[in-house]
A = this chain, B = another copy of it.
Amino acid sequence: MTRAAVLAGGVGAARFLDGLVRVLPPRDVTAIVNVGDDMEWAGLHISPDIDTVIYTLADMVNPETGWGLRGETRRTLDRLSDLGGPDWFMIGDLDLATHLFRSHWLEQGNPLSTITRDLARRAGLALTILPATDDRLRTLVNTDAGEFSFQDYFVRRRAADTVRSLRFDGVETAQPLPKAILALLEADVIVIAPSNPFLSIEPILSVRTMRETVIKARAPVVAISPIIGGQAVKGPAADIMASLGHDVSALGVARLYAEIADTFVLDQADAALAGEIEAETGLHVDVLPTLMVDAAAKTALARGVLEAAGHAV
């Protein structure tokens, strides 16, 4: 039996997990998912990363965007736009039901983790999906133009502002889920998914005891670079790394994970960096095709990552 715990952001993480549950029995996989990008929108609680993981694994995701639902319509959003309401955040009619469901049960006093479990079960998923915390945690982006919520910065303002720093509002008091700590301690392999290191992974690791648990857990920690050939596959990772003064490269990412990871997986396109990364960071480096263009690529990456951690499957 190989038990895997995966620190996960949005699209990249969801695709990696989709491969992993084709290689391992889903019940042996636990995803610990970023909630720093969660937002309140018109009274509703939206958890973009959790939804992307669920939609992707349930094969309901919109393949064009990597997020949202396939066959989506926008009756409500178009009408909201006509009314002069907030229409900058794309929410389809079917997607909206997820947010209403979540908001309803939160309002009734249920924790986000329970609601996430119910949504995952309803989608027919057997892996465990845990929010990084049930408490309020919000990534705030400090830019030249002021401090914004992540979605404000990324969607509404189209990531046009220069980022100076990030802040995780609520992180001082947010509690990790005991189940997440246990999953990390019992894991045979811990994977840091190819997600944004600052916006997706750091908010998870910043929840108290989480970073220490990952470091002290007996399992090898494998981090997958979200940067390929100096570019982010998706999202604002490259911009943010550059803004914050980091090298926008697999090397730059490897430096961020030097203390926490054992093995670093980078794409074949960056194979030339392997020696330099090993020498500078002391990480063991594995070169794999990391672009998850289809199910075969996802499965191959998952298999490669498990092998890199010494768990051939």
Residues of A within 8 A of B (CB): 40-45, 73, 75-77, 79-80, 82-86, 93-94, 96-98, 100-101, 103-107, 118-119, 122
Say whether B103 contacts A76, CB under 8 Å. Answer: no
Question: CB-nearest residue of chain B relative to A41?
Answer: B104
Say whether B100 contacts A80, CB under 8 Å. Answer: yes
Known pairs A43-B45, A44-B43; A104 contacts B75 (CB<8 A):
no
Contact of A43 (CB < 8 Å), options: B76, B82, B86, B106: B106
Question: CB-nearest residue of chain B relative to A80?
Answer: B97
Which of A96, A118, A119 lies at the interface centre, i.e. has the most chain B CB atoms within 10 A of its CB?
A96
Q: Is the interface of A mostly helix, strand, loop or mixed?
A: helix
- How long is the Cα–Cα vector from A84 to B98 in the complex, in angstroms? 10
- A105 neighbours in B (Cβ, 8 Å): 85
Question: CB-nearest residue of chain B relative to A78?
Answer: B97
Closest 9 CB pairs of A and B: A43-B103, A79-B97, A42-B104, A75-B93, A85-B101, A80-B97, A43-B43, A42-B100, A42-B103
- A84 neighbours in B (Cβ, 8 Å): 101, 118, 122
- How long is the Cα–Cα vector from A76 to B103 in the complex, in angstroms? 14
- How long is the Cα–Cα vector from A96 to B107 in the complex, in angstroms? 18
